[in-house]
């Protein structure tokens, strides 16, 4: 069983000993620390809470709400909601912060507390460290009974959808005219509430719901990767649909299936949406270092500039703000459209993609063919704890010093339009190796070449 405390929040498996799993005791400690941190930032007592549909969510939500109220904070409970919906609610309701109870793409026996600041964005690494320190301290003070915070309830999903439809860039009329037939796999979480509502509001003619009952019983691995999406792919292949839409449990990642049942490619969700946005708005783009080069290609073709960030939504958002990006995100299907808010949002991603498809004279698969075609290979090499991982990355950097190298997050080496990105794990002695090329064989070759280099470095060190 697992409990992970990090700058991205606290997450873990449900059931087991406190300190080893995400137990009620650990939830209280962390929620109390976050609430105390909020009180240190301002006198604003409003906090937004929302959760995905996983089966432990209701109990954990009750614990979090009671803890925050015991600190004197007023809680607005959105109930079953989505990560981007909670983010928007924090922004528009003038809250001090918010907590999303979701373990994102992790299996159903996991849950987590994701923490937001007053802008509806994930708290910074520095703030996360302060909260973690508070959770282990004795400096948390609860209020007297007469000062316990209030609890109110609100459904914000419809407001989220209204905001999306109000975006001038969303071409509702073109979508209506296409009479799209769409099937949705929401892995029995809150996307089953939000996505069909959005599609109907956009004027999609037919919406078939697959795994859209928000009961938290995930019918397959909830990470929206092709190997987990065989059911929807089979239905599309044997049916008559224009598009398949898949979201993860908290609806911040978007995967698409073409009309023939083939994956559009999670890396290409952002590419297609960015292509559409860049035709309508002038500005730059951002994705993380491990995302496809295709975004850079279409950005430069549009006469704009592409920027890469360290891996992680917080890092992407930071660079987007610095570079005035009009669109950005991550290659895992995470779309960030800052005109709405600075957060990965599958719902605005759906609206923008459908606008693009509606204006395109052809099928989803033909749209995919209009983009540069790259293949990313994902590998890792496991090391013993005594090995100096930073030293290995330094040696690789030295070996390839004649190539363009980015060291913002690990080491990324570029070879014309091909690249290899090496990142060390923060929790175990592993180097993750992502490589991209215009063919699977070349991508694998690049990864294996770097793996071979690493093994040579280790062997040389052992001989010294």
Q: What is the pLDDT of residue 7?
A: 64
Same domain, 35 and 137: yes
Asked which of 155, 186, 214 is the last residue of a domain, the reply is 155
Q: What CATH number is associated with residue 239?
A: 3.40.120.10
56-65, 92-101, 380-389 — which is least confidently predicted? 380-389
Per the structure, the count of domains in the chain is 3
Q: Would you say the C-alpha torsion 10, 229, 213, 202 has a positive or negative sign?
A: positive
Q: What is the pLDDT of residue 157?
A: 98
| Conformational region of residue 366, where left means phi above 0, alpha means psi within -120 to 50, and beta covers everything else | alpha
Token digits of residue 274: 């960015």
Q: What percent of the chain has pLDDT over 70?
A: 98
Same domain, 168 and 85: no
Q: What CATH number is associated with residue 443?
A: 3.30.310.50
Same domain, 329 and 394: no
CA neighbor of 209 nearest in space, from 225, 193, 220 = 193
E strands, 39-121, where?
46-51, 74-80, 97-101, 110-116
CA distance 127 to 284: 28
| pLDDT confidence bin for 461, thresholds 50/70/90 | low
Q: What is the pLDDT of residue 166?
A: 98
Alpha carbon dihedral 81, 82, 88, 91, in 10-degree steps, equals 70
**Sheet strand arrangement including 243-247:** 206-210, 181-185, 243-247, 254-257
The catalytic residues are 104
For 312, half-sphere exposure in the C-beta direction (CA atoms, 13 angstrom radius) is: 16
Backbone angles phi, psi at 442, to 5 degrees: -70, -40
CA neighbor of 114 nearest in space, from 127, 104, 100, 135 = 100
Same domain, 75 and 196: no
Same domain, 357 and 392: no
Q: Would you say the C-alpha torsion 336, 433, 266, 101 has a positive or negative sign?
A: negative
CA neighbor of 249 nearest in space, from 31, 83, 461, 30 = 83
Query: CA 247, 46, 36: angle at the middle one, nearest 5?
Result: 95
pLDDT, mean over the chain: 95
CB neighbour burial string for 354-363, b if at least 16 within 10 angstroms, e if fewer = bbbbbebeee
Query: CA 371, 330, 374: angle at the middle one, nearest 5?
Result: 35
Residue 380: Cβ-neighbour burial (10 angstroms; 0-12, 13-18, 19+): middle
SS3 content of the chain, % helix, strand, coil (to 5): 40, 25, 35
Same domain, 113 and 236: no
CA distance 147 to 391: 54
pLDDT of 184 > 70? The answer is yes
Same domain, 58 and 174: no
Q: What percent of the chain has pLDDT over 90?
A: 88
pLDDT of 52 > 60? The answer is yes
Query: What is the arithmetic mean of pLDDT over 90-101?
Result: 98
Q: What is the pLDDT of residue 146?
A: 97
Asked which of 126, 155, 184 is the last residue of a domain, the reply is 155
Q: What is the pLDDT of residue 57?
A: 97
Q: What is the pLDDT of residue 6?
A: 72
Q: What is the pLDDT of residue 463?
A: 61
Same domain, 71 and 135: yes
Sequence-separated (6 or more) residues with CB below 8 Å from residue 445: 437
Query: What is the arithmetic mean of pLDDT over 104-120?
Result: 95
Contact at 8 Å (CB) between 197 and 157?
A: yes
Same domain, 229 and 169: yes
pLDDT of 221 > 90? The answer is yes
Query: What is the arithmetic mean of pLDDT over 198-202?
Result: 98
CA distance 325 to 295: 13
Q: What is the pLDDT of residue 387?
A: 86
Same domain, 270 and 359: yes
Same domain, 267 and 395: no
Same domain, 258 and 344: yes
CA distance 325 to 311: 17
Please report which residue ranges of 180-259 form alpha helices under DSSP H.
191-202, 230-238
Asked which of 368, 399, 431 is the last residue of a domain, the reply is 368
CA neighbor of 320 nearest in space, from 292, 298, 288 = 288
Q: Tens digit of pLDDT for each residue in 402-437?
A: 999 999 999 999 998 999 999 987 667 789 999 999
Q: What is the pLDDT of residue 233?
A: 96
Q: What is the pLDDT of residue 228?
A: 93
Token digits of residue 60: 């954990």
CA distance 322 to 335: 18
Range of the domain at 421: 375-463
Q: Tens digit of pLDDT for each residue in 222-274?
A: 999 899 999 999 999 998 999 999 999 999 999 999 999 999 999 999 999 99
């Amino acid at each position: 069983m697992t409990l992970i405390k990090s700058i991205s929040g606290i997450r873990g498996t449900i059931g087991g000993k406190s300190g080893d799993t995400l137990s009620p005791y650990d939830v209280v400690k962390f929620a109390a620390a976050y609430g105390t941190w909020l009180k240190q930032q301002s006198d604003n007592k409003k906090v937004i809470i929302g959760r995905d549909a996983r089966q432990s969510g209701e109990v954990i939500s009750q614990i979090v709400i009671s803890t925050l109220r015991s600190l004197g904070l007023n809680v607005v409970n959105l109930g079953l909601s989505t990560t981007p919906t909670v983010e928007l609610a924090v922004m528009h309701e003038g809250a001090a912060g918010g907590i999303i109870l979701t373990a994102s793409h992790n299996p159903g026996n996991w849950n987590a507390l994701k923490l937001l600041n007053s802008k509806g964005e994930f708290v910074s690494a520095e703030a996360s460290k302060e909260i973690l320190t508070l959770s282990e301290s004795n400096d948390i003070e609860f209020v007297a009974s007469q000062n316990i915070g209030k609890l109110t309830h609100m459904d914000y999903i419809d407001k989220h959808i209204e905001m999306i439809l109000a975006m001038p860039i969303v071409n509702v009329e073109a979508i209506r005219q296409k009479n799209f037939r769409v099937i949705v796999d929401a892995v029995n979480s809150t996307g089953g509430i939000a996505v069909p509502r959005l599609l109907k509001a956009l004027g999609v003619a037919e919406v078939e719901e697959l795994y859209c009952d928000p009961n938290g019983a995930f019918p397959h691995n909830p990470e929206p990767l092709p190997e987990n999406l065989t059911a929807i792919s089979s239905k599309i292949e044997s049916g008559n649909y224009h598009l398949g839409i898949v979201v993860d449990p908290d609806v911040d990642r978007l995967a698409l299936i073409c009309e023939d049942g083939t994956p559009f490619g999670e890396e290409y969700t952002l590419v297609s949406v960015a292509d559409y946005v860049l035709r309508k708005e002038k500005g730059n783009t951002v994705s993380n270092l491990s995302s496809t080069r295709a975004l850079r290609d279409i950005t430069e073709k549009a006469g704009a500039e592409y920027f890469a960030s360290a891996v992680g939504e917080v890092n992407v958002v930071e660079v987007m703000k610095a570079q005035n990006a009009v669109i950005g995100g991550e290659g895992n299907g995470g779309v960030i459209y800052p005109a709405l808010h600075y957060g990965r949002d599958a719902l605005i991603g759906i609206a923008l993609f459908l606008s693009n498809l509606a204006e395109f004279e052809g099928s989803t698969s033909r749209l995919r063919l209009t983009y540069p075609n790259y293949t990313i290979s994902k590998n890792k090499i496991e090391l013993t704890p005594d090995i100096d991982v930073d030293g290995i990355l330094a040696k690789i950097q030295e070996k390839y010093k004649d190539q363009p190298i980015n060291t913002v997050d690990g080491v990324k080496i570029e070879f014309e339009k091909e690249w290899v990105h090496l990142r060390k794990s923060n929790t175990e002695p592993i180097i993750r190796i992502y490589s991209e090329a215009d063919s699977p064989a070349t991508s694998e070759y690049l990864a294996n070449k770097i793996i071979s280099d690493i093994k040579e470095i280790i062997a040389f060190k052992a001989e010294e």
